[in-house]
């Protein structure tokens, strides 16, 4: 028997999640959340470039669902709608399965190396999509977070907020000619509930979350994100000497 692992009465080993890290996480964990087409991927890339140039630390860019080869396989199935007929609980389990692999293979190792991890969607998407908009009981979602995520919680979550009509129009314009994916294809009411859910998360956890007005042009959104990071995690974006780094230091 491995230390700390319970066994069943028949002697078989019981697998339980273990979160004791071999070394304490030294990096920072930043997640980006919001509705469809809010501009998360665009801003993850911009912030990563800024952090690489300014913080002297590595910046690891990743996304959910996905981020590791196995999780990317689950992503393809989820966005194709394979799990939709089974309902939001089954979908939440699949997002969780992808998240377990992503955390183990990529996020926790990067944090232990002292890198800043920038993740395009994380637990709040499960809360909003499968929970608030999908109807899954918040108690079930909290239980999943406890066993899947454990202590690996974001230090900062940037919630990119804009009316769903605008986000869906951006996503449609970008994917001109492509079929909408499993979640893009939901009715407008679903996307309105998503927006409300993300804003409610921000109100409930103001120390972790910052709401960014994503309806502005990409440079203005980027500037607001830099301000939020600089004020919440000042070690990552130390103040520049006067006259330096207005724009272009993210190139
Ligand atoms: N999901 C995910 C769950 O249901 N539960 C979960 O637990 C998790 C983790 C993932 C789907 O899975 C769901 C949520 C999602 O539906 P995805 O393709 O990763 O699928 O979906 P999104 O994260 O929504 O990705 P998108 O690419 O659609 O949106 P982004 O990343 O927010 O937007 P972005 O940056 O790609 O920009 C979209 C378009 O708008 C332009 C860009 O150039 C691009 O063309 N743009 C702007 N235009 C004007 N002004 C700005 N400020 C702009 N910023 C970007």
Residue 237 domain-assigned?
A: no
- The verdict on residue 204 lying in a domain is yes
Residue 13 has a pLDDT of 72
Tell me the pLDDT of the chain averaged across its residues.
91
> Within a domain: residue 244?
no
What's the DSSP call for residue 29? E
- pLDDT value of position 204: 98
In a domain, 62, yes or no: yes
Name the closest-CA residue to atom 47, ligand 1: 39
Q: Is the pLDDT reported for residue 5 higher than 50?
A: no
Query: Using only C-alpha atoms, what is the Rg of the chain?
Result: 19
**DSSP letter for each residue of 122-142:** -HHHIIIIIIIIT---HHHHH
Whether 9 is in a domain gets the answer no
What atom of ligand 1 comes closest to residue 121's alpha carbon?
Answer: 9
CATH number at residue 159: 3.40.50.300
Instruction: Kindly report the protein residue whose alpha carbon is nearest to atom 52 of ligand 1.
Output: 218
Q: How many Å lie between the centroid of ligand 1 and the Cα of residue 143?
A: 27
Alpha helices, H only, 175-238 = 188-204, 218-232
Q: Could you give the CA distance from residue 14 to residue 81 in angstroms, rounded to a whole number?
A: 32
Give the residue-averaged pLDDT of 143-148.
Answer: 97
Q: What is the pLDDT of residue 55?
A: 81
Spatial contact of 209 and 159, defined as CB atoms under 8 Å apart: yes
How far does residue 132's CA lie from ligand 1's centre (Å)?
19
Q: Does residue 3 lie within any of the structural domains?
A: no
Q: Which range of residues forms the domain containing residue 92?
A: 28-232
Beta bridge partner(s), residue 63: 120
Q: pLDDT per residue over 92-145, tens digit each?
A: 999 999 999 999 999 999 999 999 999 999 999 999 999 999 999 999 999 999
CA distance 198 to 123: 11
- Residue-wise pLDDT for 51-95, tens only, equals 999 888 889 999 999 999 999 999 999 999 999 999 999 999 999
Q: Is the peptide bond before 65 cis (omega within 30 degrees of 0)?
A: yes
Backbone angles phi, psi at 61, to 5 degrees: -100, 130
Which residues have any ligand 1 atom within 6 Å of their CB?
A: 36-42, 63-65, 79, 95, 120-121, 125-126, 129-130, 170-171, 174, 183, 217-218, 221
Q: How many CA atoms lie within 13 A of 173 on its CB side?
A: 9
Given this model, what pLDDT does residue 15 score? 73
With bands split at pLDDT 50, 70 and 90, how would you rate the model's confidence at 248? very low
**Separation of CA 172 from chain center:** 22
Residue 133 has a CB neighbour count (10 Å cut-off) of 22
Report residue 226 CA to chain centroid gap.
Answer: 18
Cα 36 to ligand 1 centroid, rounded to whole Å: 5
For ligand 1, mutation pick of 67, 100, 144, 171 (most atoms within 8 Å of CB): 171
Provide the number of structural domains found in the chain.
Answer: 1
- Residue 165 domain flag: yes
246 part of a folded domain? no
- Of ligand 1's listed atoms, the one at least distance from the Cα of 184 is 16
């Amino acid at each position: 028997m491995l230390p700390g692992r319970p066994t069943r009465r028949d002697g078989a080993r019981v697998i339980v999640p273990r979160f004791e890290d071999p070394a304490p996480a030294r990096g920072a964990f930043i997640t980006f959340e919001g509705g469809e087409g809010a501009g998360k991927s665009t801003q993850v890339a911009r912030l990563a470039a800024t952090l690489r140039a300014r913080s002297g630390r590595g910046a690891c860019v990743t996304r959910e669902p996905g981020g590791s080869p196995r999780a990317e396989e689950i992503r393809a199935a989820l966005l194709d709608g394979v799990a939709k007929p089974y309902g939001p609980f089954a979908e939440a389990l699949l997002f969780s399965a992808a998240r377990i692999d992503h955390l183990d293979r990529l996020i926790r190792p990067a944090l232990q190396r002292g890198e800043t991890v920038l993740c395009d969607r994380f637990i709040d998407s499960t809360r909003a999509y499968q929970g608030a908009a999908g109807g899954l009981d918040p108690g079930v979602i909290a239980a999943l977070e406890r066993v899947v995520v454990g202590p690996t919680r974001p230090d900062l979550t940037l919630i990119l907020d804009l009316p769903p009509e605008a986000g869906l129009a951006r996503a449609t314009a970008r994917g001109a000619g492509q079929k909408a994916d499993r979640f893009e294809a939901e009715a407008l009411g679903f996307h309105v509930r998503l927006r409300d859910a993300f804003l409610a998360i921000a109100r409930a956890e103001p120390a972790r979350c910052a709401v960014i007005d994503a309806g502005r042009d990409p440079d203005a959104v980027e500037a607001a994100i830099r301000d939020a990071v600089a004020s919440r995690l000042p070690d990552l974006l130390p103040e520049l000497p006067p006259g330096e780094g207005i724009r272009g230091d993210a190139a």
